[in-house]
Amino acid sequence: MTAETDMEIRPVADHDMAAIQAIYAHHVLNGLASWELEPPDVAELTVRRNGLLSAGYPFVVAILDGELVGYASAGPYRTRPAYRFTVENTIYLHPHRPGQGIAQPLLQRVIDDCTALGFRQMIAVVGDSGNHPSIRFHEKMGFCRVGLIENIGWKAGRWLDSVILQRALGPGGGVPPKESGN
């Protein structure tokens, strides 16, 4: 079953934050995609979202049958100014919704938005080298593995690796970026 034809992808709204918090809390408590140990509350996630939006980064949600079933965003890869044309993506799905065609159009919207905003590279930082579904998904979306940092995180009683994937946006590094007062 795929949800693509009946799914709405739209910018995040204030009333989405409780559903986003529930999805994220599940992943914090039950998975290795997020390396937070305690789920942040709605207020903290709203502060984080507002920071991304005020800096001009995209943050979108997927709605299917009236339910928020996933969200994706981009933010700075690093804060030093030379990284200003590179973003890091985030994507989380409702725990009962993997494999339903939600992730691809959701992340594609963020990729398209970031390309339109003039960003040139997108980085995916996948929590743990054993997270094969996320790694394969990002590769399907045009990302290539560019690094592995072994044993960098400790969660759930074990050491975790960090897998770094990268994809070009627009012309990528083929031509200089357009500076807009930077």
What percent of the chain lies above the pLDDT cut of 90?
91
Spatial neighbors of 88 by CB under 8 A, at least 6 apart, are 74, 75, 76, 77, 122, 123, 124, 125
Please check whether residue 74 is in contact with residue 12, taking contact to mean a CB–CB distance below 8 angstroms. Answer: no
Q: For residue 177, is it within any domain?
A: no
Q: For residue 173, is it within any domain?
A: no
Spatial neighbors of 140 by CB under 8 A, at least 6 apart, are 104
Q: Tell me how long the chain is.
A: 182
Tokens of 95: 């725990």
Q: For residue 175, is it within any domain?
A: no
pLDDT tens per residue across span 46-56: 999 999 999 99
Q: Residue 151: which domain range?
A: 4-168
Tokens of 172: 């990528």
Number of domains making up the chain: 1
Measured in whole angstroms, the distance separating CA 94 from the mean position of its chain's CA atoms is 14
The burial class, CB within 10 Å (0-12 / 13-18 / 19+), for 67 is: exposed
Q: For residue 33, is it within any domain?
A: yes
Q: How far is CA 51 from CA 13, 45, 75, 104, in A?
A: 14, 10, 9, 25
Q: For residue 26, is it within any domain?
A: yes
Q: How confident is the model at residue 178 (pLDDT cuts 50, 70, 90)?
A: confident
Please check whether residue 81 is in contact with residue 182, taking contact to mean a CB–CB distance below 8 angstroms. Answer: yes
Q: For residue 65, is it within any domain?
A: yes
pLDDT tens per residue across span 23-68: 999 999 999 999 999 999 999 999 999 999 999 999 999 999 999 9
CATH number at residue 120: 3.40.630.30
Q: How confident is the model at residue 5 (pLDDT cuts 50, 70, 90)?
A: low
Please check whether residue 51 is in contact with residue 45, taking contact to mean a CB–CB distance below 8 angstroms. Answer: no
Given this model, what pLDDT does residue 1 score? 39
Q: For residue 176, is it within any domain?
A: no
Q: At residue 70, what are phi and psi to the nearest 5 degrees?
A: 180, 165
Please check whether residue 148 is in contact with residue 140, taking contact to mean a CB–CB distance below 8 angstroms. Answer: no
